[in-house]
Amino acid sequence: MTKSLVGHSKDLGANFIIRRVLPAMEKRSVGPFVFFDHFGPVPVVTGEELVVRAHPHIGLATITFLYDGVITHRDSLKVEMDIRPNETNWMVAGSGIVHSERSKFDPKYEILEGIQTWIALPADKEEIEPSFEHFSEQEIPVLTKDGLVFRLLGGSYLGLRSPATVHSPLFYADIEIKQSADLVHWDLTDKEEAGLYVSRGAIESNGESYAVGSMVLFEKGTSVSFKAKQNSRLILLGGEPLTEKRNIFWNFVSTKQENIERAKERWAKDEFPKVPGETDRIPLPT
């Protein structure tokens, strides 16, 4: 029987609901991916549906991908960037970065919905310099066939290579698939594992049905195999798992607990770099 995860709902306030799939008790990570949130859909009324005040990260890369709506990213590298549907923001925290995320009103969009993931950095790159990359829809490699659109958001897969800078072997993709499309069957190497998340619609994989909020897991050396039961939107993620155990506290990820303790101390003492224009910040959890 194919293994799977089901995201649990969490209210971030003001009825802004997310589905958190990773980490889970059954599976802490998929490839190097240690965190997976599906946020929304929520109606856009004021444009202030999502307000995430300034907060820090270490030891990871965050990726934001939107289906609908607009979010403004600001960070301590002095980057300010709007992200729109079918675009990605890649932020490498490394030794430490601070950022904020705020939705904004745009009459083109009636809802706000997207995916945010975290990728753990290899142990020897956990403390690299922070960086930020934004990719427009036109910069993202696309593979199309009957009833299928495959956008490679990061890494390498199916002969495509993303322009996003990655620090370990991985793949990360957005998939639109129609009910009329053929059965999909993509082989994994004996070093790769994968997860396939259902954002919209429903699929069948190895005789089991999966609805919105489910992530189907595929072990190393098997095949990503599925058929759309209705027009669907999916996220494929995976790659080679990192060998070292990761400690996770709040927004901090590291192979070394002392790095996390130091980051906690730095944030409590307001020693992280500042985000220009942000005067409010999220306090350290107690």
Does a structural domain hold residue 109? yes
CA dist., res. 71 & res. 38, Å (int):
15
Does a structural domain hold residue 278? no
Q: Which residues touch 45 (CB under 8 Å, ≥6 apart)? A: none
For residue 15, what pLDDT is reported?
Answer: 64
**Locate tokens 């400690």: which residue?**
247
pLDDT band at 76; cut points 50, 70, 90: very high
* CB-based contact 184:225 (threshold 8 Å): yes
Does a structural domain hold residue 272? no
Does a structural domain hold residue 285? no
Annotated binding site: 55, 57, 99, 101
pLDDT band at 11; cut points 50, 70, 90: confident
CATH number at residue 151: 2.60.120.10
For residue 211, what pLDDT is reported?
Answer: 97
- Residue burial 4-43, b: 16+ Cβ < 10 Å; e: rest: bbebeeeeeeeebebbbbbbbeebebbbbbbbbbbbbbbe
Does a structural domain hold residue 76? yes
Mean pLDDT of the region 89-94: 98
Q: Which tens digits make up the pLDDT trace of 210-220?
A: 999 999 999 99
CA 36 to chain centroid = 5
Verify cis geometry, omega within 30 degrees of 0, for the bond prior to 41.
Answer: yes
For residue 57, what pLDDT is reported?
Answer: 98
Domain hosting 49: range is: 4-239
Does a structural domain hold residue 246? no
Annotated binding site for Fe cation: 55, 57, 99, 101
pLDDT band at 165; cut points 50, 70, 90: very high
* CB-based contact 116:39 (threshold 8 Å): yes
* Domain count across the chain: 1
Q: What percent of the chain has pLDDT over 90?
A: 93
Does a structural domain hold residue 92? yes
* CB-based contact 28:43 (threshold 8 Å): no
pTM for this prediction: 0.96
Nearest by Cα to 66 from 37, 33, 24: 37
pLDDT band at 13; cut points 50, 70, 90: low
Tokens, residue 157: 């897969």
For residue 91, what pLDDT is reported?
Answer: 98
For residue 66, what pLDDT is reported?
Answer: 97
**Locate tokens 């969490």: which residue?**
10
